[in-house]
Amino acid sequence: MRKPVVITIIVLALALAIGITVLALNRDSAGTSDDPLVTRSYAAGEYSQQVISDAAAPIDSTLTGVYDAALASAQEASVPADTTAARTLAKGGVMDLGEGASVTMVSGTASIKISAGTVSDVTDGKAASGGEMAANHRYIVCAGGKAQVSVEKKAVFITSGSVTVTGGTVPSSNFKDVKPTDWFHDYVVSAVESGLVNGTTPTTYSPNGSLTLAEAIKLAACMHQLYADGKVTLTADKDIWYMSYVRYAVSEGVIEGSYAGKTTKEYKSPVTRQEFAHIFYGALPESQYAAINSVADDAIPDVKSSSAYGGEIYAFYKAGILTGDSTGKFNPSSNIKRSEVAAIVARMMDSTLRQSVTLK
């Protein structure tokens, strides 16, 4: 009487085994149109990418249409391709843009004023409203339009079409190792034009070179005389070239009398940034160091207000003569570079070159 039970169990076992096999065979087809089961890999892969693609298509189409419409409107004035030029203008430079002119500001700060018609910002795909220009945006003056670009901080432009430039000439350096793209280029030019700074040779400035203590004193002495008398008449000593400058600087209160007792080795050694600041602080009267920046006491990360020469360093930061590195550090013990010397000299002699910095 037990045989039917055994047979039943065997049949159930076979059915279960066949079902498992079928599921195993069908597993790979899960997530297809033939199988409603959606696998995790299908949902995260092919399906999600298709959803993104479907959503992006109409957006791209709409933006492309807006851009093309703006560009077509701007190009009614026809921008001549053969007039394309790169221009570098200093602060105060002006560009008058006529019908069909195109301008892109690569770097710097400038504003655009629309005096007639429409100027299209084809990068944004809409009409420009005037005001500060956006970097790397292309502006095109539409048919019947006129505009003017005013440079507020040295800027580089790519222009084409009807463009007339007034002012803003950037003087160039005659030194092979001072390129227009170098941050110190304009400072070197300004410092050399003042008659206070020279190259190491007629064709090289050596921007990464250091300055000796003797050279720093000479430079400070000449700066003081230029400010006080309007010209420099100091000349080198016939025996020890720098001693005439040392004597003058001591007598005028630019430096302390103790400097006259320095050894030859000390005079010929590179001057540190903190001692350079100390020496140069005495080159001009304190009235020339009016504060334009907010710099709290002890805010310079590596200079305490109470440290040696700290008061003078902080005064230079507040006056915009010094700015420090990207973190505000002054690096007081490192040797000063000739590129940095040019920047300090230029900012001391021309207050319009002074920089903004805030340290709290």
Give every CB contact of residue 289 below 8 A, 6+ residues apart in sequence: 281, 315, 316, 318, 319, 321
Q: What does the pLDDT average to over 228-251?
A: 96
d(CA 251, CA 257): 8
The confidence score (pLDDT) of residue 36 equals: 54
Note whether 120 and 164 are same-domain residues: yes
Tens of pLDDT, residues 246-302 = 999 999 999 999 999 999 999 999 999 999 999 999 999 999 999 999 999 999 999
Crossing angle (nearest 10°) for helices 213-229 and 243-251: 50
Note whether 157 and 300 are same-domain residues: no
Tens of pLDDT, residues 198-214 = 999 999 999 999 999 99
Q: Does the residue 202 lie in any domain?
A: yes
Q: Does the residue 219 lie in any domain?
A: yes
Note whether 191 and 328 are same-domain residues: yes
Tens of pLDDT, residues 68-114 = 555 555 555 454 545 688 888 888 889 999 999 999 999 889 999 99
Cβ–Cβ < 8 Å for 213, 188: no
Using the predicted structure, report yes or no on whether residue 24 has a pLDDT greater than 50. no
How many other C-beta atoms are found inside a 10 Å radius of the C-beta of residue 30?
15
- Express as a percent the part of the chain with pLDDT over 90: 62
Q: What does the pLDDT average to over 159-165?
A: 91
Q: Residue 127 belongs to what domain range? A: 29-170
Note whether 88 and 117 are same-domain residues: yes
Note whether 241 and 308 are same-domain residues: yes
Q: Kind of pairing, strands 102-116 and 131-132?
A: antiparallel
- Which pair of tokens denotes residue 179? 């390129």
- Which pair of tokens denotes residue 25? 């065979």
Domain ends where: 104, 137, 170? 170
Using the predicted structure, report yes or no on whether residue 2 has a pLDDT greater than 60. no
Note whether 289 and 236 are same-domain residues: yes
Of 115 and 12, more confident:
115
